[in-house]
Amino acid sequence: RLKDIELAKLGDSDVHVKMLAAPINPADINMIQGTYPNLSPLPAVGGNEGVGEVLEVGRGVAALKPGDWVIPATNALGTWRTQGVFPEETLLKVPSDMPVLCAATLSVNPCTAFRMLADFETLAPGDSVIQNAANSGVGQAVIQIAKASGIKTINVVRDRPDLPKLVERLMALGADHVITEEMLRKPEMKEIFKSIPKPRLALNCVGGKSTTEMLRHLQPKGTMVTYGGMARQPLMVPVSAFIFRDVRLRGFWMTQWRKDHAQDQESVTTMMDTLCQLIQKGQLTAPACTEVPLQDYKAALENAMKPFISSKQVLLL
């Protein structure tokens, strides 16, 4: 429900923020459904991500000032609101000259993409990565961050009526190859690997049979990182993949990474600086977004749950 609530009083280490825009992510929906591992105590304000402008700061706040732009440094901040008062340590400053949709969608998907490309395999220019759900927010960020680093991407998407349009859009972002799940088990894959090496890293957001097929193309001793399960089916791995190819299966959850690195400000700063620089150079853009006024939140939530919607619903606040 859309409700008017009283703003909390501004404490010494608090920041009064006017929210500008906040997207609806799958994790937000899962939190509302009560199926996410991290749930806010009720009653709660939805939204894990977004960007706001600082209006006022408490007496003890040194790093932020009115006019600065901020994004959440933690999850479950409750960004689907017009204004809020938040503790300083829950916010990260970002450049206010970047496009508002880039800032609003920065703290979840691009960070997830960045960490998965950096933390599991040491990739060099010319190496390749294979990923499914390539048209998702994370998928689009993986394509662009990899492209900026000279890493080739093989991008798997579900077949759909407007497939040529989607392929064109992902290629425009810098994808090297875009294939459907069905193609994973076809001879055309051999053609792809004539021009680029087999991937050492696979990124899985789907699960089920197509993920098993994707795993077959991984190099021996390669790593598959699972960060989502959109098919709601388990991951089936042939015993031979473990024994004869020694593949590694890992998992990634951005929320956990933030908890683990809460005291490691340098890692966070390096990641955010790199992503902001890519945005400012035009090498990392916001995913396709549909901007929705806050009062139309019901339609936005319904659209966010429809299959094959390649556009992220963003609440304008």
Catalytic pick from 14, 20, 23, 36? 36
pLDDT digit of tens for each residue in the chain (317 aa)? 999 999 999 999 999 999 999 999 989 999 999 999 889 899 999 999 999 999 999 999 999 999 999 999 988 999 999 999 999 999 999 999 999 999 999 999 999 999 999 999 999 999 999 999 999 999 999 999 999 999 999 999 999 988 999 999 999 999 999 999 999 999 989 999 999 999 999 999 999 998 999 999 999 999 999 999 988 899 999 999 999 999 999 999 999 999 999 889 899 999 999 999 999 999 999 998 999 999 999 999 999 998 767 789 999 99
What is the strand order of the sheet 201-204 is part of? 177-180, 152-157, 128-131, 201-204, 223-226, 248-251
Q: What is the Cα 295 distance to its own chain's centre?
A: 25
Tell me how far apart the alpha carbons of residues 147 and 124 are, in angstroms, rounded to a whole number. Answer: 12
The two structure tokens encoding residue 298: 């019901």
* pLDDT score of 307: 76
* pLDDT score of 38: 85
Q: In this structure, what DSSP letter does residue 233 have?
A: B
* pLDDT score of 75: 86
* pLDDT score of 112: 97
Tell me the residue length of the chain. 317
* pLDDT score of 280: 95
> Is 36 among the catalytic positions?
yes
Tell me how far apart the alpha carbons of residues 154 and 57 are, in angstroms, rounded to a whole number. Answer: 46
Give 105's contacts (C-beta < 8 A, 6+ positions apart).
Answer: 23, 49, 137, 286, 287, 289, 312, 314
Handedness of CA 273, 276, 281, 283 (dihedral sign): positive
Matching CATH number, 14-105+286-316, of 3.40.50.300, 3.40.640.10, 3.30.70.980, 3.90.180.10:
3.90.180.10
Domain ranges for the chain, please list them. Answer: 14-105+286-316, 110-255
* pLDDT score of 210: 87
Rg (CA), the chain: 20
* pLDDT score of 188: 87
Identify the three-state secondary structure at position 202.
strand
| CATH number for the domain formed by residue range(s) 110-255 | 3.40.50.720
* Burial of 188 from C-beta contacts in 10 A (0-12 / 13-18 / 19+): exposed
CA atoms within a 13 Å half-sphere pointing along the CA-CB vector of 109: 32
* pLDDT score of 54: 98
Phi/psi at 115 (nearest 5 deg)?
-65, -40
